[in-house]
Chains A and B, each alone.
Chain A
Amino acid sequence: MKLTLRVWRQKNAGAEGHMSTYEVDGISPDMSFLEMLDTLNERLILQGEEPVAFDHDCREGICGACSLVINGEAHGPERTTTCQLHMRSFEDGDVIDVEPWRAAAFPVIKDLVVDRSAFDRIIQAGGYITAPTGSAPEAHATPVPKADADYAFEHAECIGCGACVAACPNGAAMLFTSAKVNHLNVLPQGAPERETRVLDMVAQMDAEGFGGCTLTGECATACPKGIPLTSITHMNKEWLRATRKAARR
C-alpha cells in the first residue's frame, strides 16, 4: 500500500504546530497503524530528520497509552485502540490525517503526545478503596451479586486512554470519570467512600478544566472498551445522591 500521511508536528509544548505531509510506501494491510508509523519513523531517522513522537506501550489494546485522532476520529475508523487498528481498514492511495487528542486539559507535549496526568489526579481524588494490606482476604467473606460484579467489571475495562475526551466537542471527561466512579461505587469494597468518591472525583474533573456534558454521545461512540453512555447517567445519580446526603449531615 502507498499512503499519504498528514501528521501534526509540534516541537514542544510552547511551539506552534502544523500539519506535515509524508508519503509512505510498502505498507502491508496486516501492519498495525503504529507499525505503519514505525516504518515512517525509520525512514525519517535514516534521512536524519526528527521522528514523529507518539505514545504507545503494550500494543495489545490494554494499557491505554496509544492515542491518535485519525481522520477526525479518536483511535480511527474501527472501535478499538490505535495499536489494534490495522491498515486493512484503509485503501491504497488514501490520504490519512493524524492529530493529537485535543482538549485544554490535555496539552500537547510534542507532536502527537499529550499530557494526560489530569486523569491521574482524578483517580487520586477518589479512585481507590480503603483496605487493610496483608494477605489476600478470604474470597467468600464479602459476597458480590453477579449482576453487580458484571457491572463493576464492565466499568473496570476503562483503560484511561482519553479517547472520550478527544471525541467530545466540549473536551469533557465524564465518561472516564463515570467509569471509574461506577466501577468502585457498585461494589461492597467501595461502599465506605461511596459519597466522597463521586463528589471528589467530579470536583477534580472540573478543576482540571474539562468541559461539561451535553449528552452528545461522541465519547461512548469513540470508547474502545465500549463504556456505555448510561455510565454518565449513573454517575449523575450517584452525585445527586451524595450531594443530598452531604446536605443532611
Chain B
Amino acid sequence: MARTVWDSTVGKKAVMAVSGLIMLLYLIAHMIGNLKIFFGAGEFDHYAHWLRTVGEPFMHYEWTLWLIRVVLAAAVVAHAVSAYQLSRLDLRARPRTYVHKRPRAGYATRTMRWGGVILGLFLVWHLLDLTAGTVHPGTFRPGHPYRNVVSDFSHWYSNVVYIAAMLALGLHIRHGFWSAAQTLGAGSRTRDRALKTVANVLALLLTAGFVAVPVGVMTGVVS
C-alpha cells in the first residue's frame, strides 16, 4: 500500500496533506505556548521546563519531547520531499507556457512553492537561533528561554525574519488547509465556505499569535 500511495500523484499529495496537518496541529500548540511570555519569566520558563518533564514518571526526562521532535522531523521531511517531487512532475507536464500571459490564481495559491521553501529555511534559522543558540544575536543562555526571546527581539533583523516568516506561514496555511481537505476527500460543495473560513481563521490566528511575541518585545510590553 505504501508503494501505491507514494507512486501516485494523488497518494503523494495525501502524504503532503497529512504531514502538513501534523505540522499545523503542532503550530497551534506552539503558538499557545508562546503566548505565556506575556505572563512573565516565571510562567514562561516553567512551561519550557515542563515540556521536558511531560509524561513522567512513565517517560524519562525529555523522552516525550524527543518523541514529538521525531514525529515533526518526519513530517517536515515527508512534506518537503513530496512537495519537491510533485513540483518537478508538474513543471515537466507543462514544458511550454502560453505566449499570451494572464494573471493566474490567488496570491496564496501561487506562493505555495516559494513560500514553502522560505518556511523551510526559516525553520532551520529558528532552530539554530532559539534551540541550539548558534546564530542567536547576543548571548544565548540555555534553559532561560524568556531571556533568550527578549534578547532575540531586541535586534531589528530578528524581528524582520520572524515577522516575514509568519506572514508567509499565514499564506501557506490559507491555501494549504483548504487544499488538504480536498486532497483527503473531506471537501464538498456545501462545506466549501466553511472550510475556507476555517482556513482563513487558522491562518489569521496563527500569524497574529506568533507575531504578538516580537511585537510585545519591541513595544516593551515584554522585557
Q: In angstroms, how far is the closest chain A Cβ from the Cβ of B200?
A: 16
**A218 and B105 alpha carbons, distance in the complex (Å):** 7
Task: Confirm or deny: A216 has a beta carbon within 8 angstroms of a beta carbon on chain B.
Answer: yes
Q: How far is the CA of A202 from the CA of B77 in the complex (A)?
A: 25
Contact of A171 among B86, B94, B178 (CB under 8 A): B94
Q: Is A202 a contact of B179 with CB atoms below 8 Å? A: no
Evaluate contact between B184 and A240: CB separation under 8 angstroms: yes
Verify if A111 is at the interface (C-beta below 8 Å from B).
Answer: no
Find B109's partner among A199, A216, A230, A240 (CB 8 Å cutoff): A216
- Which chain B residue has the least Cβ–Cβ distance from A168? B94
Across the interface, A215 reaches (CB within 8 A) one of B7, B91, B96, B109, namely B109
In the complex the two chains form, what is the Cα distance from A170 to B7 in whole Å? Answer: 18
Evaluate contact between B8 and A236: CB separation under 8 angstroms: no
Interface positions of B from 1 to 30, Cβ below 8 Å from A: 1, 4-5, 7-14
Instruction: Tell me if A213 and B93 are in contact (CB < 8 A).
Output: no
Contacts of B184 in A (CB 8 A): 236-237, 240
Give chain B's interface secondary structure class: helix
Q: By the criterion CB–CB under 8 Å, are A233 and B188 in contact?
A: yes
Interface residues in B93-137 by Cβ distance below 8 A to A read: 93-102, 104-105, 109, 112
A150 to B184, alpha carbons, bound, how many Å? 24
Of A102, A228, A239, A246, the residue contacting B10 (CB under 8 A) is: A239
Q: Say whether B182 faces chain A, with CB atoms less than 8 Å apart.
A: yes
A171 to B10, CA, bound (A): 15
- Chain B count of residues within 8 A CB distance of the other chain: 43
Which of A97, A205, A212, A241 gathers the greatest number of chain B CB atoms within 10 Å?
A212
Q: Interface size class for chain A?
A: 35 or more
A228 to B188: give the CA distance in the assembly, Å.
10
Assuming the A-B contacts A102-B96, A232-B182, A236-B182, are A169 and B102 also in contact, with contact meaning beta carbons closer than 8 angstroms in the complex?
Answer: no
The answer to whether B99 touches A99 (Cβ under 8 A) is yes
Q: Which residue of B lies closest to A198 (CB)?
A: B10
Q: Is the CB of B112 within 8 A of A99?
A: no
Q: How far is the CA of A243 from the CA of B13 in the complex (A)?
A: 14
Residue contact A246 to B1, C-beta cutoff 8 Å? yes
In the complex, which residues of chain A have a beta carbon less than 8 angstroms from the beta carbon of B186? 233, 237
Q: Is B43 in the interface zone, CB < 8 Å from A?
A: no
Are A230 and B89 neighbours in the complex by a CB distance under 8 Å?
A: no
* A residues near B90, Cβ cutoff 8 Å: 169-172, 211-212, 214
Q: Are B8's CB and A213's CB within 8 A?
A: no
Residues of chain B having any CB pair with chain A under 8 Å: 1, 4-5, 7-14, 86, 89-102, 104-105, 109, 112, 175, 178-179, 181-189, 192
Q: A72-B100, A171-B93, A172-B90 are in contact. List 9 more A-B contacts (CB 8 A).
A: A72-B98, A170-B94, A202-B9, A211-B91, A212-B10, A215-B179, A216-B105, A234-B185, A243-B1
